[in-house]
Chain A
């Protein structure tokens, strides 16, 4: 894994080439630790786009590295902090322990984790309440086929992923209290084949709408859905481009917007370590439909779903949030 990290770091350095010389004057540098390949067209890709937005909108230098294990998280945090990066983002719930451990040694660096609850003088979680959007998607599934069944496929059972499934189920039950939702985990984020096998097994048991939150393995879910002619929901990023005939809608996070806001605060010295929560009410979380499949959702259902989304934004309906 070390080899892969170095190699990717090298490549990213190439991809971002030029900015180092031009923008050294500002001296502000931001790094991203992604738990998987940024080519996953989902969770990690969205974070990379957020990092590039920080680079372009704030004119600062950025760097990204792929880290897989807690020792790697810690090592990468330390490495960037030692090199003087002012903001280092660990992309996921799993980064908070490493951040808390490293932070006291580097008081001049802000460590941000994109989920979690750990707060230190220079550690803060940026929590994306994707639950708002998956709640709406669950409701949509149950309204589209009231006598149907929905399911969800996850990578690993971590609170930030499980939370999206709990809200998905709650949304379905908001439409019909006994609507069945089954959840399957594949135990990792890369195994496309496992994701496909898990989804086929769920479809065999009657699942007609499948939500995926499995990062790079996600396309395996879409493939199974397409094969069996059912609809799927994407997560974290607009995913109907990955499977245009299968992905009906996606629960989307506007990570670029959130990253730029935090990076600007850190850069201007206004940053206060506290849990930051991004919700549908803020506009950072949204449900994005696949325009090519718009005809699948009848007008009355679409109307009710939009009304529910408005209620979620107005907080007049309670969406269950994961305890992080």
Chain B
């Protein structure tokens, strides 16, 4: 066996590292580490010239192992692995020491400490890399079918892009129809084109596309497998209406005697029947029976819909159906929930009838809505003479959500315009800052200003019906500090619209666990990189699009839907994926069949073989998390690239005593 020859490369990262770590000294010092034959420092190791340095040294010095001391492996591990591969060195004979996030950035004002710590990290990497083994990535065929979760505009866009490229797509939607929030809106900012006019053709296309299979009124119960081969279990909730024969004629809901307040599509402002289609342009066109309110399911009587259905499509006995899909990639486009303004009691929503949420106002002003587009107070008749629109409700407020919900400024401007146009009422917008930041938005703001809408800069303290004087009697009084004139103001109005913020779906944590994607404290799904990889997630093969990733408006949502589709199409066109070979394996000669590991695997990759009485890891399912490796009481399970020898060598390396040359990092930091 040839002797190991290690090359160590210390990156300056401009001033990021060199500003705090003595890189010259560090690379010189590294020459004394075991088996190190060459050590260099360079301004930007990740640059082409930096990578060439490594490649040339691998060839010239016959390096068997490479260590780069630079940034986080999340950033550039792939870069340097590729450089090694190009020079003929197996990518896994490389190790990265993170001396930026772990040394220079955390000790910017202590050069000695940062340098000592960088030494310990480089030493750990050198000791570890000497134990590395060459590994080959696993090749897996990719299923060309894609699953899109959520049938809002993001999901529809993504599904159409992929289907148009010629690949099959499943769209799973929880509600009876696709369309999402956008289907509820009236006009869209800043162009004021009608939401239905631009959305429903896309919905229709999605429903009619030969490559798209819609699974509406369905929820995902289980996800197994990994990129290329996910197995997804879907519960198709029983519609009680047979889709294969229903024509969507509408006789059933005309005949249904039960009226139910529609809390979903009409935001509680309108009614639907117990058998219903959420809205006329719903896709698919089939209705669904709401078994909680249906007379038949309560009393076993009625059956009006069944009796009148010309197609005999009603099936009261229909049960939920479980279907299993095999897909290569998944796009999560699960959207958002509206902030519930009841959480801000001083705004009176739910207590003061004429305080409306933004979604309620969308339905009020929608020509297909419960009032036929007439803007009225809660009584359904009276037109408001004055309207206050409160921005940032539940947003930019540490008590609720610290983030900006991104869309409320523009939708508030839109509401101001619509209310002004339809009622000619006095409109007061209460804002903290105006953020009309995208194309055409600032112009729209100026247009609304020109229309004579009042803008009051200040967060609203309270909305009350307690009148101080006759001019306030019978009105809602909006109390706010006008920060531009430095005075408290009380503005009496007939109607208040709360521009409620966008929140993650209430079940976003559970969904993130189900799919194995990250989900920050806020609850929005975490992208792989906030700037450079905004629609991928840490899980290969799972992408995110639209408001489930963070608050965003329709143009951005559509762009993300298309971006996620492009990423998926890229994966499909590769036909195969390379999977990290970091996998667990069981040494069957030392497995006693104790079965401690059997229940632990989050990916169900471990099976117990009664004969010969050992457990086995299915490498295709294993993701290399290491849970079983840590649990195996016989140490019969090894995680490739994280072997006991490698980890102990790393610890041995990091515990070098640098104190004989200078201060030890521990002393300095204590």
Partners in one complex: no
Residues of chain B at the chain A interface (Cβ within 8 Å)? none
